[in-house]
């Protein structure tokens, strides 16, 4: 990855942009993000600051500026290819692993620059938990999955490990289902249980932010319901940033919703406002399914 420092100026066409922000964006214009005062009034755990990202020549994120509130669940929504997963993966620098990625701007986790060259990426990732679309339990016991982060940090005290294991599994609403078979292989769990195990593993390290990339897209409705309940329970204790394709999931589980389109942040506000009276017609068209 190359870190570019020069902000690439936009090549704006000579004519005025169309009034519809989505058409404007599609035509290569830049638009202002509509960020509600309710978001700005929150204490941010994570601040995305004028963040641009290119995959080779193709710009995937355009000057994203958004605070992620502490202790709240924030959902990123938008049609496929809008950059929501790219944004999520930029938070823990997973995009460092992708060839020809170039970024400008910064993100700050509790004030610490994420893209500071002195930032230790391993340390950074320890401060965040990430859960992916498909559950990815490690091929080991349920117990070892949960305490994995502590083990690699050298924690050997059985009492500490036992306690963290129980707290995390309880936190992930899985304890009662697995407490009698902690030494069984995690692979034998159902899909929904595996995903909650992944969440338990993520929260065992007490992350400052929990990143969820479409955490329910591979789950059946019952398992989805359980994971959604869990996400709601995590609120307050953890700050969650979640990508979802499922609009109803965003409306059910999140406190704040950000609508993205073609790499831009279009509107960002309290979920109730976004789903009852969004400020922009464009957001309304998306959440009501009139496009996208």
Partner 1 sequence: MTRHIERQIDGLKERILRVGTLVEEAISKAITALINRDVPLAQRVMTNDEEIDRMEVEVEEECLKILALYQPVAADLRFVVAVLKINNDLERMGDLAKNIAKRVAQLKGQEIELPPEIRSMAMQAQEMVKQCLDAVVRGDPVLARQVREEDDGVDDGRQRIQRRVMAGIKADPDNAEGLLRINSVSKHIERIADMATNIAEDVIYMVEGDIVRHRSEAI
Interface segment toward partner 1; rule CB under 8 A; list 1-9, 119-127, 200-208, 245-253: 245-253
CA distance 160 to 155: 8
| Residues linked to residue 49 through DSSP beta bridges, in sequence order | 106
The distance in angstroms from the start CA to the end CA of the chain is 31
The single residue among 63, 82, 275, 282 that binds partner 1, judged by CB under 8 A, is 275
CB 272 → partner 1: shortest distance, Å?
A: 10
Helix (H, G, I), strand (E, B) or coil at 289: coil
CB of 291 to partner 1, least distance (A): 8
C-beta of 54 vs 286, nearer to partner 1:
286
Nearest to 225 by CA among 177, 273, 255, 192: 192
Virtual torsion, Cα 237, 119, 54, 80, nearest 10 deg: -20
Q: Does position 287 bind partner 1 by CB under 8 A?
A: yes
**Contact predicate 160/149, CB 8 Å:** no
* Pick 79 or 191: Cβ nearer partner 1: 79
Query: Residue from 110, 157, 183, 248 that binds partner 1 (CB under 8 A)?
Result: 248
Interface residue with partner 1, options 212, 247, 258, 262 (CB under 8 A): 247
- Tell which residue, 144, 227, 146, 238, has the closest CA to residue 193: 227
- CA 277, 266, 268, 203 torsion: positive or negative? positive
The minimum distance between CB 267 and partner 1, in angstroms, equals 11
Please work out the total of residues on this chain that contact partner 1, with binding judged by CB under 8 A: 16
Q: How many CA atoms lie within 13 A of 89 on its CB side?
A: 18
Interacting stretch for partner 1, rule CB under 8 A, among 17-25, 163-171, 205-213, 270-278? Answer: 270-278
Q: Which is nearer to partner 1, 45 or 247 (CB)?
A: 247
**Shortest approach of partner 1 to residue 287 CB, angstroms?**
5
81 binds partner 1 (CB under 8 A): no
Q: Residue 123 is inside which H or E element, if any?
A: helix 121-126
Residue 89, CA distances (Å) to 53, 86, 92, 93 in order: 11, 5, 6, 6
Q: Which one of 118-126, 152-160, 212-220, 283-291 is the stretch in contact with partner 1 (CB under 8 A)? A: 283-291
* Shortest Cβ 223–partner 1 spacing (Å): 20
- Alpha-carbon distance of 69 to 106, in angstroms, equals 17
List residues near partner 1 by CB under 8 A. Answer: 247-248, 251, 274-278, 283-284, 287-292
């Amino acid at each position: 990855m190359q870190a570019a420092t020069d902000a690439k100026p936009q090549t704006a066409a000579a004519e005025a942009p169309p009034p519809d922000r989505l058409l404007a964006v599609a035509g290569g214009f830049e638009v202002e993000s509509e960020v509600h005062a309710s978001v700005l009034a929150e204490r941010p755990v994570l601040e995305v600051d004028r963040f641009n990202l290119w995959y080779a020549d193709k710009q995937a994120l355009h000057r994203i500026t958004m605070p992620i509130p502490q202790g709240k669940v924030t959902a990123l929504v938008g049609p496929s290819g809008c950059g929501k997963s790219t944004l999520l993966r930029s938070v823990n620098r997973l995009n460092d692993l992708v060839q020809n990625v170039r970024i400008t701007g910064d993100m700050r986790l509790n004030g610490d620059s994420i893209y500071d060259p002195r930032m230790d990426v391993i340390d950074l990732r320890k401060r965040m938990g990430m859960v992916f679309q498909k559950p990815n339990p490690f091929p080991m016991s349920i117990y070892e999955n949960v305490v994995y982060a502590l083990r690699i940090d050298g924690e050997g005290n059985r009492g500490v490990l036992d306690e963290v294991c129980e707290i995390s599994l309880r936190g992930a609403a899985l304890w009662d289902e697995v407490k009698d078979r902690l030494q069984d292989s995690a692979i034998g769990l159902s899909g929904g249980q595996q995903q909650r195990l992944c969440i338990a593993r993520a929260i065992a390290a007490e992350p400052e932010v929990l990143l969820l990339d479409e955490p329910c897209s591979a789950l059946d409705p019952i398992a989805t319901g359980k994971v959604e309940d869990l996400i709601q329970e995590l609120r307050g204790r953890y700050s969650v940033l979640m990508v979802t394709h499922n609009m109803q999931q965003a409306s059910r589980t999140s406190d704040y919703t950000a609508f993205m389109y073609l790499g831009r942040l279009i509107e960002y506000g309290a979920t109730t406002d976004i789903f009852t009276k969004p400020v922009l017609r464009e957001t309304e068209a998306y959440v009501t399914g009139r496009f996208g």
